């Protein structure tokens, strides 16, 4: 008897996305199995962040299919060329399952760090306050900023704010974590503390898609690497093989440039 094959944690199929007359993604397909950590690399403007944002519908694809944990998101083609999710409740459910960590933190400035982490589990998932608070405090301890729980975002360094944003994403108990250049807004000396948290999450076997320009980190943490060039995936494979023996000239040049700039 064959074991039933599990659906991928994330499945993007034939994703096309345009902004005005410019098509940024040209029919991209990418799937992530549970426990995979995928680094999404590419030059600026290659479509990496747009692809990631399509995974939880922060950007609505003009064509293609998106499934999270086997559930396909129903898209209403809309009038003209403005598609939109057909079911707002499904959209909310999907965003709980695939939580995003942004490069600019996106914390609520009027709430303390603890309140930031508690907000969505309380008001979106309607979980009991005592349970949510205990979990939020444990998450802040886990990312190393429990002492800052009563501070406001403006009182924290960029690295501390990003760790708070990771705790906030984890508070939703997501199946998938989506990281959009999580260190690009940070001063160089603060990058390490955020990467350390993400490294720990990867070690737990969490499913993660990480858009990053930190090559050494991508190489160390990801199980698989994909390379986007001008809205198409040109390279995709196990990270160790991809870095040791790039398939395309584009990716080889990209790595060479990244290597040169790091010295």
* Superfamily designation of domain 8-259: P-loop containing nucleotide triphosphate hydrolases (3.40.50.300)
**Average pLDDT of adjacent 10-residue blocks, the chain of 263 residues:** 74 94 95 96 93 93 92 80 82 91 92 96 93 97 96 96 96 95 89 93 94 91 95 95 90 87 68
pLDDT for the residue 80? 61
pLDDT for the residue 2? 53
Point out which residues pair with 236 in neighbouring strands: 226
CA distance 48 to 210: 9
pLDDT for the residue 263? 62
pLDDT for the residue 126? 92
Rounded to 5°, the CA angle 179-159-31 comes to 10
Rounded to 5°, the CA angle 64-70-71 comes to 70
Q: The tokens 């690497």 sit on which residue? A: 225
pLDDT for the residue 147? 97
pLDDT for the residue 111? 97
């Amino acid at each position: 008897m064959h074991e039933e094959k599990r659906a991928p944690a994330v499945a993007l199929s034939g994703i096309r996305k345009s902004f005005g007359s410019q098509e940024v993604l040209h029919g991209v397909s990418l799937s992530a199995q549970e426990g995979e950590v995928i680094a999404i690399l590419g030059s600026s403007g290659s479509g990496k962040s747009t692809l990631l944002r399509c995974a939880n519908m922060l950007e609505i694809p003009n064509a293609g299919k998106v499934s999270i944990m086997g559930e396909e998101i129903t898209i209403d083609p809309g009038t003209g060329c403005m598609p939109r999710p057909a079911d707002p409740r499904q959209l909310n459910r999907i965003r709980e399952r695939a939580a995003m960590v942004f490069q600019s933190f996106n914390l609520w400035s009027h709430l303390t760090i603890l309140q930031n982490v508690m907000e969505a589990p309380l008001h979106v998932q309607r979980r009991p306050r005592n349970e949510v608070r205990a979990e939020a405090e444990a998450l802040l301890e886990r990312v190393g900023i429990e002492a800052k729980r009563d501070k406001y975002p403006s009182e924290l360094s960029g690295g501390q704010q990003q760790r708070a944003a990771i705790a906030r994403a984890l508070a939703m108990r997501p199946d998938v974590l989506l990281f959009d250049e999580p260190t690009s807004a940070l001063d160089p000396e603060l990058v390490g503390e955020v990467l350390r948290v993400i490294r720990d999450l990867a070690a737990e076997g969490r499913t993660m898609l990480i858009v990053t320009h930190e090559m050494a980190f991508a190489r160390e943490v990801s199980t698989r690497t994909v390379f986007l060039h001008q809205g198409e995936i040109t390279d995709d494979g196990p990270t160790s093989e991809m870095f040791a023996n790039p398939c395309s000239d584009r990716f080889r040049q990209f790595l060479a440039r990244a290597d040169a700039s790091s010295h």
